[in-house]
Amino acid sequence: MLEKFIISRSDNIGDVVLTIPLAGLIKKTFPHAQVIFLGKKYTKPVIDTCTFIDDFIDADILHSIPTSKAVSQLKKLKADCIIHVFPNYRLSYLSFRAGIPVRIGTGRRWYHRLFVNEIIPLSRKKSTLHESQLNLMLLQTIIPDFRLPNLADIPQLYGMQKMIPLPDKLKHVIETSRMNVIIHPKSKGSAREWGLDNFSQLVQMLEPEKYNVIISGTDYEAGKMEGFLKLFKNRAHDLTGKLDLSEYISLIAESDALVAASTGPLHIAAATGINAIGLYAPMKPIFPQRWAPIGLKSEYLVLNKECNKCKKDLITRKYLSFY
């Protein structure tokens, strides 16, 4: 009987949010199981909100300490199973050395053939499934009579309900008399962006009598939006670079809607159950069929065309980035 699970996903916020449903399905199948999340330290505030996850391990520490010490730390957990959602050579090796009995991963990485003993034949590149469903497919060998959840089933598997109370410094930002809309224009390069000109038009369309506009982003992104932020300094709350992730999650949960490209904040908004409106390009692998926000009130907008020119431009930029 499997009783203690480690979910390993040491990458970005949006990816982590779409991995959390694994914990929900594990708890649904094994109600008394303990679930530990192995991820990057900066994603910990996301994990801390999840009722289905019992503990967190900082992957950055396991990468920074000697191998023998890292192996010892994993052994102390006495885990029965580790699911390598995001392939990583060192973490795969450490789990092998720690003797974790069930080690699950896809067959797309050569080192999984050495260190993983439950190989899942899964190709994300060729699949038509959503990212959240692709993650859940990794549980098919350990859940009896496994049935892949539909997208409509995903929201109940997030369990993102343990937010910190909205800090006093933010209570004046949220208004009960108007709809609170977060505008998140940038993406740190993780997605195709809609552009500040388009977001400017959107803000101008939102009637001040009905909508309370909040602009969010990192401190670095604030520097990229100086003109945009100056234009709306008397029309919107500028919170760019002023929140840590825990505070931002609480703000999202207290708001009514969030508009963004395919970013971490968009997926947080979907998981918390507010209106999450995603803006997407119609091209693989960044199209909404793979990365749309999945929530009770989530929607996405995408241009109805085959974006061959965009795809060629993307390939060209990737090619030039090597020189």
Taking only the tens place, the pLDDT of each residue in 91-129 is: 999 999 999 999 999 998 999 999 999 999 988 887 889
What does the domain layout of the chain look like in residue ranges? 4-157, 169-320
Concatenating the DSSP letter of every residue in 175-219 gives: -SSSEEEEEE---TTSS----HHHHHHHHHHS-TTTEEEEE---H
Please state the CATH superfamily assignment of the domain spanning residues 169-320 in this structure. Glycogen Phosphorylase B; (3.40.50.2000)
What is the pLDDT confidence band of residue 311, given thresholds at 50, 70 and 90?
low
Confidence check: pLDDT of 319 > 70: no
**18-61 pLDDT, tens per residue?**
999 999 999 999 999 999 999 999 999 999 999 999 999 999 99
- Which pTM does this prediction carry? 0.93
Architecture per CATH, 4-157: 3-Layer(aba) Sandwich (3.40)
Give the phi and the psi of residue 81 in degrees, each rounded to 5: -155, 140
Tell me whether the CATH fold assigned to 4-157 matches the one assigned to 169-320.
Answer: yes
Residue 62: C-alpha distances to residues 68, 91, 99, 123, 127 (Å): 10, 8, 16, 27, 32
**69-85 pLDDT, tens per residue?**
999 999 999 999 999 99
| CA 281 to centroid of chain Cα atoms | 18
E strand or H helix that includes residue 89: helix 89-97
Confidence check: pLDDT of 164 > 60: yes
Do residues 78 and 106 make contact, with C-beta atoms less than 8 angstroms apart?
A: no
